[in-house]
Amino acid sequence: MEGVRLVCAFEQPEHPAIGTDSGQLAGGKPNGVLITGGPDVKADVIIDFTTPEATRRLLILGAQEDIGLVIGTTGLKAADHAAIDDAAESIAVVQSPNMSLGVNLLFALAARTAKQLGDDYDIEILEAHHRFKKDAPSGTAMGIAHAICESTGKDPDADLIYTRHGHHDVRERGKITMQTLRMGDTVGEHTAFFSTLGERLELTHRATSRDTFARGALRAARWVGKQAAGRYSMADVLGLEED
């Protein structure tokens, strides 16, 4: 992508990929940037798709070295978000559970739809990923849920339901149910259902290649490298206006 250059790629110091050309490791042509055990050159932005534990360390590194971050790591907890807030006091950070343009439009559309339709419409969120994914529901599904909750004044801790089994009473008005599928090599599929007696609206995003996430992350990196310290989202990167 124009305006972006890879200058360093690093892993845990004991990782077996240390010393491997990062281009070849990614399945492409050699690029001359070897995998190291830590950042060994000055960079403007770190792109982070790792684990919450690694993200916390990278936030410390970014704040110490004045390096912005683009964080796509999922499975973050409240303490992780607090760490991002702390780091964003001194560096620019873009954090999103999904970097694709389409998914971030889905966040905005789902929020607006829920606000317009109200509790007369039942909301269900269904997500599907490959069999190897570790967190459930996905960060993207949680992003949809939180966008809806924010737009409607709901409490994620009280109004999200994560599973159903056995005998239950009728569906409780105003609740949002999350459903998770893990199967094969599914890249990522998310649907927000809005259903009432007589009609159903579905908002669906299907990722068919992980390249879409990489392109979004690069776009975010190019953008955040020019921003003042603060915490940003992909909505900021894309200039999506909120109601």
Q: Of residues 115, 133, 146, 175, which has the active-site annotation?
A: 133
Q: Determine if the peptide bond prior to 137 is cis (ω within 30°).
A: yes
For tokens 């991002």, what's the residue? 84
Judge whether 167 counts as a catalytic residue.
Answer: no
Q: Cα separation of 183 and 151, whole Å?
A: 31
Residue 101's nearest CA partner among 222, 242, 215, 243 is 215
Judge whether 133 counts as a catalytic residue.
Answer: yes
CB 243 within 8 A of CB 122: no
Q: Cα separation of 169 and 176, whole Å?
A: 15
Q: Of residues 15, 29, 115, 129, which has the active-site annotation?
A: 129
Active site residues: 129, 133
